[in-house]
Structure 1
Amino acid sequence: MPDLPLHQWYAITNFGGAGLTLPLALAIALWLAAGYSMRMAASWLLLLGASIGVVTVTKIAFLGWGVGVRELDFTGVSGHAMLSTAVYPVAFFLMLQGARPALRAAGVAAGLAMGVAVGLSRVVLEAHSPSEAVAGFVVGALTALIFVRYWWNAQAGRISAAAVTLSLVALTFALHNVRVPTHRWVTHLALTVSGHEQPYVRARWKANRNNPSAASPLSQTRNTLAAPTPTPRHA
């Protein structure tokens, strides 16, 4: 594992944040609609939306009901890993329109490598377990590769590769440090749906593998005055 300073790991992990990747995904959709077709843009948004749904459902299942896999330390698909692995390959695919197929494929591979780097950063920063980061990479890679494979031979019409590249790169630099409280939103949704007052927390959930009731939100509420609740990992 690369021995990087902590601030560099945070810089890498920010490339997977929703505050950057979601605007990038929307910009990609707009360019696809302008230069290719509405159908192509819609397919991109539907694929990405389905993957976001997978991430959200797994997180709600754990936060609301404690559904996970203790043996793998799995409490939900990493959103950072999924979004980075889904968005950047498609961004390179779009920016390299008109390039030789080998170069375009290399761009897609570079996008996947960015997803690997972001997933690794989530593990190093202890925001996710390895299984959660790997799951995020797999879901994101499937999203990107299904899209790229289906539309590989699509012909661009009225857009310039230089304009696309400039806009996406500028957006990346402008929004790199923008943070969106997605974990707080998902937690609120999980509590609303489950009816619990407190979310499930990884530390207690793992520690009480033989006594599930001890890790329940009710048990956490009773113990609030005795010990602070550990901060859950997120995104």
Structure 2
Amino acid sequence: MWTAISNVGDAALTLPVALTCALWLRLSDKTLAVRWVVLLVAGMALVGMTKILYAGCGVEISAIGFRVISGHTTLSTAVWTVAIALLWRSTGGNARVGALAGLTVGVLTAFARVFDDAHTVPEVIAGWLLGALVAALFVHPLARSNVKLFRPFAAAAGLLLVTTVAYGHHAPIQAMIDHYSPGICARAWASVSAFF
């Protein structure tokens, strides 16, 4: 059961859903679309940085059991919060109410990652907080805007199709991080050493 819930946060599912939301937003309001993409990229860059530092350089805070920010939890919290807020808003509801459902999906994903022994509690808390921050920085201006979302039924159908096709697949991102991180850290360390 926990693996099935954990799959909701896999990048193979959440990134296509995020892209679908970005396209929907682009057809509705370019500024909101750019905001969404920039916020998500910034959040995932922070997650990636912690993963590279741990996998390549061995950086961790062992006293609290923190190695990396949980990417599944971050993506699940950010993407589902925004997707559900957009869907809720498109039906005439308040985007903030829809966002609460997305935040709950993020909490369930965090529990799944801990029960699957993929992450520690501090790692999923960091992931949930980061995902919630990304989502809040998007949902707040969405809720205050007067933007009319483009063809809500078509967008909802698109999100359903993407979710159905992508669910259960796994992105090879962690394998790539494990493979390339030692080289990245070695080059960064050499650059820092040469500078000093």
TM beyond 0.5? yes
The answer for unaligned runs of 5 or more in structure 1 is: 1-7, 197-235
1:17-56 equivalences under 5 Å are: 17-35=10-28, 37-56=29-48
Rounded to whole Å, the distance in 1 between the matches of 2:156 and 2:53 is 38
Residue 86 of structure 1: which of 78, 84, 88 is its match?
Answer: 78
Residue 9 of structure 1: which of 2, 11, 36 is its match?
Answer: 2
Rounded to whole Å, the distance in 1 between the matches of 2:65 and 2:130 is 18
Rounded to whole Å, the distance in 2 between the matches of 1:122 and 1:98 is 32
Q: How many residues align?
A: 186
Identify, as 1 or 2, the structure richer in helix: 2
Q: Which amino acid aligns with 1:71?
A: A
Q: Which amino acid aligns with 2:134?
A: T
Aligned to 1:216: none
The answer for unaligned runs of 5 or more in structure 2 is: 188-196
Structure 2 residue 138 is the aligned partner of structure 1 residue 165 = no
Rounded to whole Å, the distance in 2 between the matches of 1:45 and 1:12 is 25
Aligned to 1:63: 55
Quote how far apart the aligned CAs of 1:168 are.
Answer: 0.8
Q: Equivalent residue of 2:143, what SS?
A: coil
Does structure 2 conserve the Cα–Cα contact (< 8 Å) formed by 1:94 and 1:164? no
Q: Which amino acid aligns with 1:85?
A: T
Structure with larger RCO (C-alpha < 8 A, sep 6+): 2
Q: Equivalent residue of 1:61, what SS?
A: helix
Which has the larger displacement, 46-55 or 143-152? 143-152
Q: Which amino acid aligns with 1:73?
A: G
Aligned to 2:179: 188
- The alignment's TM-score, normalised by the length of structure 1, stands at 0.76
Which has the larger displacement, 142-151 or 164-173? 164-173
- The alignment's TM-score, normalised by the length of structure 2, stands at 0.90
Q: Which amino acid aligns with 2:64?
A: L
What is the root-mean-square deviation in Å for CA atoms of aligned residues? Answer: 1.5
Rounded to whole Å, the distance in 2 between the matches of 1:107 and 1:152 is 10
Q: Which has the larger radius of gyration?
A: 1
Quote how far apart the aligned CAs of 1:158 are.
Answer: 6.3
Q: Which amino acid aligns with 2:115?
A: V
Aligned to 1:174: 165
Which has the larger displacement, 149-158 or 62-71? 149-158
Rounded to whole Å, the distance in 2 between the matches of 1:9 and 1:70 is 25
Quote how far apart the aligned CAs of 1:85 are.
Answer: 0.2
Rounded to whole Å, the distance in 2 between the matches of 1:113 and 1:193 is 36
Residue 135 of structure 1: which of 126, 134, 137 is its match?
Answer: 126
Which has the larger displacement, 76-85 or 144-153? 144-153
Identity %: 34
